[in-house]
Structure 1
Amino acid sequence: MAPCRALLAGALLALVALGEAKEDRRCCSPIVPRREWRALASRCSQRLKLPARYVVVAHTAGSHCNTPDLCQQQARNVQNYHVNTQGWCDVGYNFLIGEDGLVYEGRGWDYKGDHSGPTWNPRSIAIAFMGNYMERSPPPRAIRAALSLLDCGVARGALSKNYEVKGHRDVQPTLSPGDQLYEIIRKWKHYRE
């Protein structure tokens, strides 16, 4: 999949509704910036050593969202839980994927996440699909958004060209990313158990 692949009509309409989703300077699909989903200020300071060799795919196990307004609210809900209940410096993931087909900036490319413990957090980028994917699959537009994000990571040098995708359950004792999403990512070119 080419990093400069055109966005689908649904994602374009959603971006028009958002108004501020920004186009990455390296020909990546737009990523909804933190200010657009009204994120709390991050207190994180630990940077990742880039390019990252691993990508951990998770699900939030909460409610799914399929419109920009609902996904912005869900991103805030995830951040609120991670900061106020877990005591983390920010949302635990580098990026969140909505069923609206958009990517929401979490900690971004540069900062270490809190998602998979001390072994994996410092050497991986985490992307979390917003929703619970035990019984249902994310829609194709959400899958395309995630794959486009990974291409973007390689294009901008944040991900190694030979990066490996892991399911959250491959690196921690968890049901994440859900049975249905796990079956999907196991078919991705860069997936390694």
Structure 2
Amino acid sequence: MRQYFWVLILLFASLMAHAQYDQGRKVGANTRLWRTKVESEQLYSFAVEKATSVTIRYEGILEGAYIETAGKKYALSQDEHHQGKSNSTNLLIFDASISEFSFFTGAISGEIQIIVIDAERTKRVSGVPRLNEQYAKCGEPAMVDQSIWREGLPEPSYNRSFTVTENIIIHHSATSNEVSDYTNVVRNIYLYHTQGNGWSDIGYNYLIAPDGTIFKGRDPGNGDQDAVIGAHFCGRNSTTMGVCLMGTYTNISPSDEMLESLSLLLSWKADKGGLNPFATNSHPLNTALPVIAGHRDGCSTECPGQATYGRLVEVRNTTADAIEACSEKETAMFSIYPNPASSFFKVELVGGDDHRFELYDMRGQFFKIEPQQMHDEIATFSTGHLISGVYILHYQSADELIKRRLIVSN
């Protein structure tokens, strides 16, 4: 009888705990939060009404933890953008809604918080022009507007702040590389940032999907998309613009389509803002912060993943190439070679006897430049006194003023 009594007590306690878990605490229109205690190296099962993404706040070390649902295991890593008192796992986004999952704690023990998000399925975005389709125009690339990807979700409402961009910060979202519904990814990141973290809006100015699609991020209201201050760079966001590559790129490299879109987006922004892709600027977190920088250049983080960070030199070069290709004036009679130039460059002269040259960087600063040699209608110049970067060469002949971009890579 006594044994039967204790079985009933344990069953009742289990049901009550499960009921308490199912209620949770609503922290947003689409987000619920639960608190529970766990032990290390244990597997716990949870039932939810509907979820499109899950993240877990914890204390201690994250090692060996994973979430399992629909027969698949998802390893958990630390969310390097979370700035709360506790640690947080990466946001685990699912292509299809789930109603239950299991959590293996690994080294985690003690009280945890489980944040469950339902981004509400919406139609996929299709037929969006890729950036290379607008490449010849050299203007602002095609993007998915907030009104499309945010359909049906609460809109942000706050007083925006704006800044002049001096550094462009590259991130990765640390989400699954297997997710194929990129609109769903952006919706979940938005809800995680606003309802999970309590931020005013999504943290990034732009997000780029593996297929090259660019999504507008933080809503600028009546301001400019590339000038609204986000929440992405180690708590020091002024003078920066944030671009997030959707996925995890610690060991896996971003796709060619993603990097192409990134470079073309950056070339548009750099050309618009007079930014030199090869330069550095002083920032409170780094006195020599590259104009095109990784998140890790500002604080202790792996973001944007080594496989991305290792290719930023390539990104700077292709960005500069795209700027050069969108030269203000193209003419077959005037060419610069080699371009990029490492120690010298040559100019094919236009007919006539009057040849004057001036050189400016992307901020309009003048640099004196004179031919070392002029022979057979070719002028040869040294770049030894120039730092690496993008310049505009003004060539005044007897007939016209011609401008061409010069890339110096000493």
TM range (shorter): 0.7 to 0.9
Q: Equivalent of 1:174, from 301, 325, 337? A: 301
In structure 2, the partner of 1:136 is 252
How far apart are residue 145 of structure 1 and its match? Answer: 0.7
**What does residue 145 of structure 2 align with?**
33
CA RMSD of aligned residues (A): 2.7
Residue in 2 aligned with 1:7?
A: none
Q: How far did 1:137 drift? A: 0.9
1:160 corresponds, among 255, 274, 299, to 274
Cα 1:44–1:136 change in 2 (3 A) is farther
Structure 1 residues 156-189: Cα deviation after superposition (integer angstroms, max 9, x where no partner): x3x3322501110111211100110111113333
Asked if the contact 2:162/2:229 (under 8 Å) is kept, the reply is yes
CA distance in 2 between counterparts of 1:152 and 1:31 reads: 13
Q: Which residue of 1 aligns with 2:234?
A: 117
Select the structure with the greater relative contact order (CA < 8 A; seq sep ≥ 6). Answer: 1
Residue in 2 that maps onto 1:146: 262
**Structure 1 pair 161/142, CA: closer, same or farther in 2 (3 Å)?**
same
Report the TM-score, using the length of structure 2 for normalisation: 0.38
| 1:74 maps to amino acid | V
- Distance (whole Å) between structure 1 residues aligned to residue 228 and residue 312 of structure 2: 24
Q: Which runs of 5+ in 1 are unaligned?
A: 1-13
Aligned positions, number? 169
* Counterpart-to-counterpart distance in 2, 1:143 and 1:135: 16
Q: TM-score normalised to the size of structure 1?
A: 0.77
Amino acid at match of 1:53: E
Given candidates 151, 159, 176, the residue that maps to 1:45 is: 159
Deviation (angstroms), 1:44: 4.3
Larger radius of gyration: 2
- Measured after TM superposition, the shift of residue 15 of structure 1 is 7.7
- Taking a change above 3 Å as real, the CA distance of residues 66 and 142 of structure 1, as seen in their structure-2 partners, is farther
Q: 1:104 corresponds to which residue?
A: 215
Higher strand share: 2
Q: Report the 3-state secondary structure (helix = DSSP H, G, I; strand = E; otherwise coil) of the residue aligned with 2:210.
A: coil
Unmatched runs of 5 consecutive residues or more in structure 2: 1-123, 219-224, 278-290, 320-410
